[in-house]
């Protein structure tokens, strides 16, 4: 357990380093193109520092906003609050902020940068379709992600994937307008155009690599940790079986946030007929495998 937490922290440092390096590289390139000189480099440095800091401290807010999550009223969702409070007492975790996503598909996710600044969100479909024991199993799984520091890597990935997509789009738009205003052949402009197209082509691949940095093994570990926390594996097993049998997809889920949810929230081969090749890019291990491992505990 402690080795996994340490590995997660190291991976977080690596992702932040790559993120800063990417922003710095793009900023320096634009500064060179616009001939900003030393003043431009100072501005680039400030932008990189601010962007990195904002990303670290506000990635959870971005994930919640993208998912259309709203605070869970303690009175209306008393069972939800009570279960989380009980599990937090048993695990020694501080109670995270609780949110609701108005969506009929049963699913849940956790987010934040550490256990003291964490949040858990569940869909209305999950609350409606899970009994108390099953819901407790799902919430224990999400609290395990918080305790294992999985949430920081998963949440940062959301912001980074989004920024990569924005950079690729901005690069191409900038170059398109620059070429319209400049009829002369500009080797540097051509170089930037090639770089822009390369970034556009490889942005989805970079996004998938970042998502796979959040290893599928973390889902297995969170399942096992959650079952140990409740001391009743059949609860989580039953919940996963319901998730397996339900064909609904989360309306507000995106490729950037897919790895955060307890179960693949987007259409896959299990929910839509298609090529088996697509399973290679699933952000979660098959539910059947997860159920089998829990049954062996």
Provide the annotated active-site residues. Answer: 142
Are 192 and 179 in contact, with CB atoms under 8 Å apart?
no
**Residue (of 43, 291, 51, 289) closest to 163 by Cα position:** 51
| CA 250/CA 262 separation, integer angstroms | 12
Taking residue 50's Cβ as centre, other Cβ atoms within 10 Å add up to 10
Taking residue 281's Cβ as centre, other Cβ atoms within 10 Å add up to 13
Which two three-digit tokens encode residue 31?
Answer: 């500064």
| CA 213/CA 31 separation, integer angstroms | 31
Burial of 124 (0-12, 13-18, 19+ CB in 10 A): middle
- Residue 149 DSSP label: T
| CA 6/CA 48 separation, integer angstroms | 26
Taking residue 153's Cβ as centre, other Cβ atoms within 10 Å add up to 24
Are 106 and 125 in contact, with CB atoms under 8 Å apart?
yes
């Amino acid at each position: 357990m402690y080795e996994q937490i340490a590995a997660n922290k190291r991976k977080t440092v690596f992702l932040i380093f790559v993120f800063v390096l990417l922003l710095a590289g793009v900023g320096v390139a634009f500064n060179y193109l616009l001939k900003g000189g030393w003043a431009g480099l100072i501005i680039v440095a400030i932008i990189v520092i601010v962007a990195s800091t904002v990303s670290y401290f506000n990635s959870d807010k971005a994930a919640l906003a993208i998912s259309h999550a709203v605070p869970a009223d303690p009175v209306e969702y008393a069972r939800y609050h009570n279960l989380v409070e009980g599990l937090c007492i048993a695990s020694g975790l501080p109670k995270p902020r609780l949110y609701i996503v108005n969506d009929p598909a049963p699913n849940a996710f956790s987010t934040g940068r550490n256990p003291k600044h964490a949040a858990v969100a569940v869909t209305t479909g999950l609350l409606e379709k899970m009994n108390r024991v099953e819901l407790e199993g799902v919430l224990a799984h999400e609290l395990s992600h918080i305790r294992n520091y999985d949430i920081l890597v998963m949440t940062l990935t959301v912001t980074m994937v989004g920024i990569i997509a924005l950079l690729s789009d901005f690069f191409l738009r900038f170059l398109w307008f620059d070429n319209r205003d400049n009829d002369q052949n500009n080797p540097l402009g051509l170089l930037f155009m090639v770089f822009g197209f390369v970034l556009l082509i490889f942005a989805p691949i970079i996004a998938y690599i970042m998502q796979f940095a959040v290893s599928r093994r973390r889902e297995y570990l969170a399942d096992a940790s959650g079952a140990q926390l409740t001391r009743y594996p059949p609860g989580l097993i039953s919940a996963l079986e319901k998730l397996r049998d339900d064909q609904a997809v989360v309306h507000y889920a995106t490729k950037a946030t897919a790895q955060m949810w307890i179960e693949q929230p987007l259409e896959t081969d299990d929910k839509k007929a298609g090529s088996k090749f697509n399973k290679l890019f699933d952000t979660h291990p098959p539910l059947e495998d997860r159920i089998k491992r829990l049954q062996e505990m």
